[in-house]
Structure 1
């Protein structure tokens, strides 16, 4: 499935498969879809309790009624994948783990190339000690995972 991280996911998207795939552009699309759903729900909530024939004030200059905007918001929600906050949490956890592993490998490579902990810390926006602490905290679980194999 071709996914554009800048477009919301369609309603028929296999969200569990998308999360398991762990591709960062898929995770970005999932987050974007969740954001669009939130904005659309807020727009729909603004129409609650208002008469259908009342003019809807739109920043874009649209001249629609509240009823027309309510229907537009509902159509938008119906066409989107039903992404929940829990989907976003699962996906971002998978992405964070993937990025953390890539960071660990890059630090290992930088050290092998002779880079100082000060240079590594600066590249990460932290102190030399912060970089060493981050690396060491993640090295122990990685070592334990490989030792069990």
Structure 2
């Protein structure tokens, strides 16, 4: 028996409020990076990694988000995932990207899973989405 946890967020175009919407603690990038490098999934899970699914419409910035996170851990700008502006999704395969620690060289305990952009008539369909959520899609699936 496998239990899946799903968190869904939706961005709604509301007017931009005056001032910051929350107080951000004064934390350095190094502190945040160290916290992510020390992260481990809950004990007792059979998986060693937590998969974070990046999903959204074409041009939402899913691949760019991965490139940004990867760049932080590499201390240089990287572009491992194809990204940019286009009419249709530049991502054509399901990718499970590992982020490696600069300190140890080992992958961190989470993977960013990049998908095709959601668009009518092509892209990710509901059957593939369910398979992704169940963990039945392998890296490189078209």
**Structure with more of its chain in strand, by fraction:** 2
TM range (shorter): under 0.3
State the TM-score, normalizing by the size of structure 2: 0.22
Larger Rg, first or second structure (1 or 2): 1
Q: TM-score, normalised by structure 1?
A: 0.21
